[in-house]
Amino acid sequence: MSLQLEIVTPQQKFIEEDSVDSVTLPGTEGELGILPEHIPLLTSLASGVLSYQSGNERKALAIHGGYAQVENNRVTVLAELAERAEDIDVSRAQDAEKRALKTLSGKFGSDETEQQRLEKHEAKLKRALVRQTATRI
């Protein structure tokens, strides 16, 4: 028994694998491990690392937001943005992390635009951290 995995982004079809043994998804409610014969599932995804095992190989991707659907041993991931671990520039992610931390250590007002700015930078920090984690798997 194996799973089919398909990852698509608004720009392109990203990955299509016919037989993977397990998939780990970064759901908004926590990490989800998918094995063959999983019940049908629809979940929203957070910014995080998606990894999958096929044979002895373990591959990782950084995923930022979207949805995943599991049905009939088929995992479909609709990601807003996806990056393969090998395509990620680690030093750039580290720089981005430092920049985001620096901005976040500053002051933020309580009005709406300031809160939006805070959220934006928190999201940037999260993405930078996810990218670094993805390269370590």
Which positions touch other proteins (CB under 8 A)? Answer: 6, 8-13, 27-29, 32, 39-44, 67, 69, 71-72, 74, 76, 78
CB 66 within 8 A of CB 90: no
For other proteins, the closer CB: 14 or 108:
14
Q: H helices of the chain, where?
A: 90-105, 112-136
As measured in angstroms, the least distance from the Cβ of 44 to other proteins is: 5
As measured in angstroms, the least distance from the Cβ of 95 to other proteins is: 22
As measured in angstroms, the least distance from the Cβ of 65 to other proteins is: 9
Q: At 56, is the secondary structure helix, strand, or coil?
A: coil
| Residues whose CB falls within 8 Å of the CB of residue 99, separated by 6 or more in sequence, listed in order | 124
* CA 109 to centroid of chain Cα atoms: 30
As measured in angstroms, the least distance from the Cβ of 70 to other proteins is: 9
For other proteins, the closer CB: 69 or 132:
69
